[in-house]
Structure 1
Amino acid sequence: MTDREDSDRDETVPGFGLPTAGRKPPAVDVPESAGGDAEPAEAEDTRVGDVTVEEISPTSPVASMPDTPEPASAESDLDRSAAKERKPGLKRPAPAGTLIWVLLALLGFTLVVQLRSNDADSGLSTMRQEDLVQILSDLEARDSRLNTDIESLERTRQQLTSGVEGRQAALEEAGKRSQELGLLAGTIAGRGPGLDIAMDKVKASDVLNTVQELRGSGGEVMQISGVNGTSVRIVASTYFVDAAGGGILADGDRLTGPFRLLVIGSPETMRTALQIPGGVVASVKSDGGSVTMDSRSMVEVTAVRKATALQYARPVS
């Protein structure tokens, strides 16, 4: 064996310790991909003498595979979750956008509530023209009556402060006030223009509704009578209850129908109030009863009550 052959045998392949027989492995051309990145080269067989050596590229799967599998870390899990959140379909809404949607929802709810409130308050807009005229007539009558009262009170004030005539005016005013209070309390009889109302086949609630409607339309003095001859003066404390066996109880006195109700006040105003659609007359007729009214230029209310002695109440002055 020559010295040349010995030197050739001493040369070894790096990393494997195999003889190369004096040859270097041929260079491998690595093609570039479309994006410019070099694809990992596959292992290439190199024959050295009778031994075949597989050359492994540093970027091949075998070379890059770790000797032992590394356990998954918490950091890699967080990276994967962050990557999922960065996907276009899983964007989290911004706080400002959420606030805008909440404000829009509140604004819509407020508008709906306001519209419903406006619809509930539009009762007069659905009434007939005749009903509106009647309501306007009642308001004008009340306005006229209140203006008359104001003028009368102004004259009384001037008389009371006019010096020598003040004492006589004060006595006259005291007598007038006593009569008015007597009429309201039911302790003296009264007369004046008003209505004579007949009611048949009605309940205590119907009579109470009629009295309340008459008070609201200017009725000042009232009394109710039954066919049994009993009459009751109606005042602020009067109550009505259905009696057992028929009829009603007015302040504890039994009355049998048909009933007669006398009231002093403006006949036209009170008649209009009772005949409003859906009012007293319509309600009684729908229940099978009847209400008839007769305007009178002079109605006499003769039923009186005994004066009640107050036990606890005292005037302030």
Structure 2
Amino acid sequence: MPDEHVPDDVPSPDRDVPSDSPHASDVHPRHAAEGGDEQASDDDVPGRGTPGRRHTFASLLRPRLNTSQLIVAVLCAALGFAFIVQVRQNQSDSLSSLRQSDLVRLLDDVTQRSQALEREYSSLRVTRDELQAGSGSQQAAIKLAKDRAATQGILSGRLPAQGPGVTLTIEEGTQTVGAATMFNVLEELRNAGAEAVQINGVRLVASSWFALAGNSLVVDDVPVTSPYTWVAIGDPDTLAPALGIPGGALAAVRSQGATAEVKSATKVEVTATREPEDPKYATPVPVSTAGTKR
């Protein structure tokens, strides 16, 4: 087949057409696209891209919400809302859906539980009241026991004591005061209500006694010498007159040549103590057979 003659002025697809050529505007679109690709490749070269191109690449990394995704999100929200409404409706209708017999049984169970709780509450209140009463009684008993122990300790001579009372000083003359005379002084003080008595540092109790050993006075196996200093706790207005009555204990002391002086005070101290002795013969009476207290 003879070769077709191509005019020299027709541009070849593989040749570049000068910009001032009359055929520059007739460049094929495919070549224009290839030229655009070459330009884009130039932009991808480091240092040759533009800021607008970089911003476009960063925007590609950000997530975009299209229409389908928006529709799916709305449907999910609607489905969740419907589920919540259905759950709440089921909870509110749980009792209404029960039969009458079931409701009656449920009500009976609640009533029985309430009654059981009321009984437990009442029992706990009773227990609390008993504990409080027992605690108060126990404290009162402890206080009473302490008070009684203190009283018994003073009366038995086991504890020292202080309070209003009198001080009696007897000083012998030319002769010794007899033991019986001194014992009468003790009895006079007791009869006048003395609660604690001592003489020359010896505590006098219910079992105390006086004796003479030659010319010396002995009190509960303890020798004492003149002057004899008595300390008695009690009502001074009762003790002092009781000692000074005519023909009484002090009158007998003075009749034996001794002197006696009584001084009242709002506070005196009986410091002497002694351990009480256990009784040899007496024993407590059982509570069941004890007589009525008088």
- The answer to which structure has the higher helix fraction is 2
Larger Rg: 2
